[in-house]
Amino acid sequence: PFLINVMKHQNFISGDYNTSFIDETPELFVFPKRKDRGTKLLNYIGDVTVNGFPGVGLKDKPISRSVRIPQELPAEAKPGTKQILTELGPDGLADWIKRQPELLLTDTTMRDAHQSLLATRMRTQDIINIAEPTSKLMPELFSVEAWGGATFDVAYRFLSEDPWVRLMRLREKMPNVLIQMLLRGANAVGYKNYADNVIEKFVHEAAYAGVDVFRIFDSLNNLESIQLAIDATLPTGKVAEAAVCYTGDLYDGSRPKYHLPYYVDLAKKLEASGAHILAIKDMAGLLKPESAYALVSALKDAVDLPIHLHTHDASGNGIFTYARATDAGVDIVDVAASSMSGMTSQPSGGSLIYALDHHARQPKIDAKHYEVISDYWQDVRHNYEPFESDMRASNPSVYEHEMPGGQYSNLQQQAKAVGLGDRWSEVKSMYARVNMLFGDIVKVTPSSKVVGDMALFMVQHNLSEQDVIDRGHQLDFPDSVVEMMRGELGTPPGGFPTDVQQAILKGEKPLDVRPGKLIEPYDFEAAQLKLFEKLDRPVTDFELLSNALYPKVFEDYVTHSTTYGDVSVLDTLTFFYGLNVGETIQVEIETGKTLIIKLVQISAANEDGIRLVSYEMNGVPREIEIKDVN
Ligand code: 3PY
Ligand code: ZN
C-alpha cells in the first residue's frame, strides 16, 4: 500500500515512459519535500572543502575548463535500432542485424570505458549532457552501453547518486538507440549470487526503466547462471545477449581447456537457451587477431545468432583484432569515443571507422561526428584526473597476467593499500599463478576479484602453490577465496582442483548444486515494510531492489541524501573538490530554480576541530559548522 508504483503508472503500461516520463509525471519522482536543500548543499560543500573527497584528498581544485558540448544538432533524432526493436521484437532485430552488410558499433563510453579508465567514477550529469548529441549525431549506432557492471554500486557508493535515475534520464535523451547493460548472470550487478527472484525482479525493473539489451555473462562461464538471466529477460520483450567469456589462448597447446570446441559447445547451448545475440566477451583483451578470425568463423558456423564482440585494448592490438573479426563476419563490435579509448578501455571507434576505409564493411557512422562526441569526453575527462591509473601505454604483458581491463588499476590500488605497492610486478605474476592453481578459470567480476585477493594474500605471506596445498589447514584465506572454493559463485568447467579446494576448505564439503538453488526467495514485502518504516516515506520498486542487492551501500546512500540532499546537481569539480575561498557557483536545484553560492571564508579549527565555513547564498550570509577530521 505504501508503494509509489511507478510500474503501474499508465505511461509505463503503455510503454510511453521512454520519452518524457520524468518531465510529464514529476509527481512520481517527488517524495515528501525535505526542506532546505540549500543548507544541505552548503554542508556538503563545506565538508568536501574541509575534509576532501575519498580518493581525491585535499588537492588544489583544478581550473574549470570549458567543455565542448556539441551545439549543432539535427532537430529530430533519426529513427534507429530502438525503433527496429519496437517494430520487429528481439528476434526480428536479430534477423535485421544479420542482414546488415556493414559492421555495427556499440559505444561503451558511458559504461565500460570509464569503468576501465576512471574507476567507474563518471557522474550522471556528465553522461546526460552528451546523451542527446550522441543519439542525434550517431543514430546508426547499434547500441550505447550505459548501465550495469560496476556503475550500479559505484553510483550509490562513491557518487551518492541514484543509478535508476541515470538510466531513466538517459532513456529520455536517447529515444532512437538501444541502451545496453552488463548483467553478471546470477550475480546481477553485484559480487555474489542472489536469490532467483531478485534476479528476475531486477531484470524486469531494468527493462522498464530503459534497458533494451541485456548482455549476460557468468564469471565462470556457468551456463545455469546465464540461463537464469535469459529466462528473466525473455518475458520483458527485450534483447537477451548471452556472452561466452574468452580466456587463455585458442592456440596454446599447453592449455587445451579453452580451445575452439569449448566455445562452440557453449555457444550452441546459449543459442538453445533462447539468447537473441551471442557475445564474445574478451574482458581482458586476450583475443589475438588470428584467434578472433578463427573463433568468429567457428561460431558463425556453429550458431545462427548475430555475434557481438567485446574486447579491451590493453595490448594495443584491439583494432587489428576487430579487423580480423570483421573479415570473419562478426556483426557488432564494442568501441569507445577515441578520447576515452585504448589501454584498459575499448579500442577507439573513430580509429576503427578510418581503419576500415574502403573495406566493404566499413561502419556507416560518420567519423567526424564521432570526433565531436570524443571532444566532449576529452574535456570532461580532465575533471576525473584523480581517478586515472598510472598506465601510460599499451602493454602486451596482459597476455601473461590476463587481468581484466577494469581490474588492473583497482588491484594496483589494493596492493598499495596493503603495502605491496613496490611488489606490483610480483602481484601480477602471482595473479597468473593463482589462475593455474585454481585450475585455469575465467577471470571476470567477481571471479577476477577472488584471484586478485588470493594473489595479494600469497605475495603478502610469501606463499607458493605448494605451501597452499601443504599448509592450507593452518592458513586463514580471504573470505572471497573460501566462498568461491565452496562453489558459491558456481563451478568452473572441469571443477576446481580437488587438492587445492580441500586445502582451502579444510575438509568442508563444497556445494554440488547451483548456489541460487540454496538461497531462500527474497521477501520483498517484508523488506518493503521495513524500509518504509526506516525511511518514513513511500518506497519505490527501484529502491526495494537496490536495498535487496546492496543493503549497506543503499543505507549509506539514504543517510547521505538525508544529510546533504541531492548532490548530483553540483558541477563535477565542486563535487570532488568543494569551493575555493572567494569562488562563486550557480547550482540549478530544479528546473528554473538556481542557487548562487559563494564561499567567503573558512575559520581556523577550534579545540574540538570545528571550522566555521562562511558563505553567501543568493546574497544572504550563511555560516555552517564543519568538523575537520584531518
Ligand atoms: C563487470 O562485470 O563490471 C565487467 O566489466 C566485467 O568485464
Ligand atoms: Zn569490458
Contact 288/249 with Cβ under 8 angstroms? yes
pLDDT digits (tens, 9 = 90+) for 65-114: 999 999 999 999 999 999 999 999 999 999 999 999 999 999 999 999 99
Nearest to 47 by CA among 555, 413, 570: 570
Q: What is the pLDDT of residue 5?
A: 45
Q: Mean per-residue pLDDT for 214-237? A: 98
Given the CA of residue 283, which atom of ligand 1 is nearest to it?
A: 7
pTM strictly above 0.90: yes
Q: Mean per-residue pLDDT for 312-341? A: 98
The set of protein residues with a Cβ atom below 6 angstroms from ligand 1 is 112, 115, 149-150, 182, 184, 283, 404, 406, 444-445
Confidence at 29, pLDDT banded by 50, 70, 90: low
Given the CA of residue 406, which atom of ligand 1 is nearest to it?
A: 5
Element (H, E) at 401: helix 398-401
Q: What is the pLDDT of residue 418?
A: 93
Given the CA of residue 111, which atom of ligand 1 is nearest to it?
A: 5
pLDDT digits (tens, 9 = 90+) for 348-403: 999 999 999 999 999 999 999 999 999 999 999 999 999 998 889 999 999 999 99
HSE-CB for 330 with a 13 A CA cutoff:
29
Cα of 448 vs centre of ligand 1, distance in Å, is 10
Q: What is the pLDDT of residue 390?
A: 84
Cα of 126 vs centre of ligand 1, distance in Å, is 21
Instruction: Answer whether residue 1 shows pLDDT above 50.
Output: no
Taking only Cα atoms into account, the Rg of the chain, rounded to an integer number of angstroms, comes to 25
What is the best residue among 106, 109, 110, 112 to mutate for testing ligand 1's pocket, by most ligand atoms within 8 Å of CB? Answer: 112
Residue with CA at minimum distance from ligand 1 atom 4: 149
Element (H, E) at 214: strand 213-216
ipTM (interface predicted TM): 0.98
Cα of 571 vs centre of ligand 1, distance in Å, is 27
Nearest to 110 by CA among 372, 345, 316: 345
**Using the 8-state DSSP alphabet, how is residue 384 labeled?**
G
Task: Calculate what percentage of the chain has a pLDDT beyond 70.
Answer: 94
Q: Mean per-residue pLDDT for 225-231? A: 98
pLDDT digits (tens, 9 = 90+) for 409-468: 789 889 999 999 999 999 999 999 999 999 999 999 999 999 999 999 999 999 999 999
Distances (CA, A) of 610 to 50, 184, 621: 10, 45, 19
Residue with CA at minimum distance from ligand 1 atom 1: 149
Q: Mean per-residue pLDDT for 254-261? A: 95
Residue with CA at minimum distance from ligand 1 atom 3: 149
Cα of 601 vs centre of ligand 1, distance in Å, is 44
pLDDT digits (tens, 9 = 90+) for 296-311: 999 999 999 999 999 9
